[in-house]
Structures are given as C-alpha cells and as structure tokens.
Amino acid sequence: MADRVETDPAGRDRIRRMRTPSANRMRRMARWIDFAGWDVTALAAAWRGARPFPHVIVDQLLSDGQMDELRVGMAAEPHWPDRGELQDFMASGPHLQCEILRSLLCDLGGAEGLECVAALTGKGLRSVEMRSYVYLAGGRLLPHADWREGVGRQVAFALYLSHPGACRGGELELFECTVENGEIVATASAAIIEHLPGRLVLFDVSPTSLHQVREVMEGYRLSVAGWFT
C-alpha cells in the first residue's frame, strides 16, 4: 500500500506511511528524487561540519524535464499574497491542491526520503510539510529562525525551481549568532546560498538557526519549502 498525503486537523498536508501487514512491504518508488543515489555518508559529514549551523546542499536533484513539470504544477497551484512583518511573497495554502506538487511531497515524506534525510541529519523524522512560494521583485523573508515551541520542526528544506537567469537576488543567507543569557545579541552574515535550479538545501532548525531570503531585485523566484518533523 503506497504512502499517501493526508490533511491534518490544522489543514496541513502530512505524509502517512502506509504499511501492509505482509512482511514483504511494498515501498512507493520515488517519482522525483533518486535517494538511492545520495552519498549519505558524505552528506552527513558535510551536515556536521557546516557553519554557521548544520546544513547541506544537494545539487542537480532534478532533471530539466522534471523541473519543467514541477513549474507547471506550481503554475496550477493557487498562491496568495502574504505580506507581514518578515515576509512579502506569494504562497500556496497549507493543503497543496496540485497532484504534481503533492507527489513531490510524497517523495520527501515517503519511507525512503525520511530515512535518507534522517540518516544524513542524525534526527528521527516522522513527517514532512511543504508549501510552494513565488517571490516577485521586492519580495523577501527577513531574518528569523523556524523553531517554534512544541511544533516539532527539526529540519527545514528548500528546493529551488526558478528558470535559469530568471531572478537577481533572492539568495538564502545564513547568520552566525552571538547569544548571551539566551538572547541573540549580535549577528553576522555567514553564508549566502544561491537558489540554483534543482538545488535542495536542508538546514537545522533551532532557536538560533537564523536565516533569510534576501530581497529579489529583479525577476521572480520559485521554490517549494517546508520542514521535516
């Protein structure tokens, strides 16, 4: 029985891992991501050694054809403006409607995806949630940490789907934090990660894993992002 996407009471898509009573379990084959091709040992070492906090980059995750297909999925997915203290972007709802994006979510949250990400991060992971994002010129997500008390987020991810050359700006920026008495008192830019098409970034979630999406100066930025919990 294949893993499937379900909606929790809060309206968020979750992957439910379905298990057959048979000892010979049928695992859903990942449609988008070749997890078997990941060098988990090397990725785990990169994760542990990354600064300013654990993170890892996996490039060329998707073929050009797959990215085109996912962009079609994004175009079909409804997005709404979201503008507030930190953010200015277009975002999908918590419950993805497009089958293409839901199948990508199944890949990430399926048995193989969870095991792979768990192995390289050293964390016990049970589920994943994901939304789709479009940043237009002026769009950004100002510095913040994704950690929330009681929510269970452990690993954040972003998969970039912009067309090559479609965007100037919009990089993921990671910050080094100085903490005194439990408060961040100083920050410094420590890493700037380009949102290359087909790049997957995984990074640790903690109260001090401060990061931002820098302002898009020109063009547009497409991505799907979320958390493993």
Partner 1 sequence: MITPGLESEAALAPLRAWWQGANVPVLILPDGLLPEAATRLRAEIAPRLSRYEVADRGRWWWDRHSAHAELFERLGALGSLLIGSSLRLVAARWLRFGHGDYALLKGDDGRTSEPGVELTVDFSEAATGEADVVYLGAGPGDLWAVPQQPGGIVLCDRQRAPYRYERYLTHRVGEAEVHRLRLTLLSDR
Binding site for partner 1 (CB under 8 A): 85-86, 88, 137-138, 140, 142-145, 175, 184-187, 189, 210, 212, 215, 217
| CB of 98 or CB of 210, closer to partner 1 | 210
We find the least distance from the C-beta atom of residue 184 to partner 1, in angstroms, to be 6
- Select from 45, 17, 203, 179 the least CA-distant residue to 110: 17
- Whether the ω angle into residue 207 lies within 30 degrees of 0, i.e. cis, is no
We find the least distance from the C-beta atom of residue 37 to partner 1, in angstroms, to be 36
We find the least distance from the C-beta atom of residue 140 to partner 1, in angstroms, to be 7
We find the least distance from the C-beta atom of residue 175 to partner 1, in angstroms, to be 5
Q: In sequence order, which residues have a C-beta less than 8 Å from that of residue 169 and are 6 or more positions away?
A: 214, 215, 216, 217, 218, 221
Residue type, 49: G
- Select from 13, 77, 20 the least CA-distant residue to 229: 13
- Select from 170, 171, 158, 111 the least CA-distant residue to 131: 158
The Cβ of residue 111 has, within 10 Å, a number of other Cβ atoms equal to 17
| CB of 101 or CB of 213, closer to partner 1 | 213
The pair of three-digit structure tokens given for residue 178, joined into one six-digit string: 């100085």
Separation between Cα atoms, residue 199 and residue 217, nearest integer Å: 20
| CB of 111 or CB of 136, closer to partner 1 | 136
| CB of 206 or CB of 212, closer to partner 1 | 212
| CB of 24 or CB of 180, closer to partner 1 | 180
We find the least distance from the C-beta atom of residue 169 to partner 1, in angstroms, to be 8
We find the least distance from the C-beta atom of residue 153 to partner 1, in angstroms, to be 17
| CB of 19 or CB of 83, closer to partner 1 | 83
The Cβ of residue 212 has, within 10 Å, a number of other Cβ atoms equal to 17
- Select from 139, 25, 30, 157 the least CA-distant residue to 83: 139
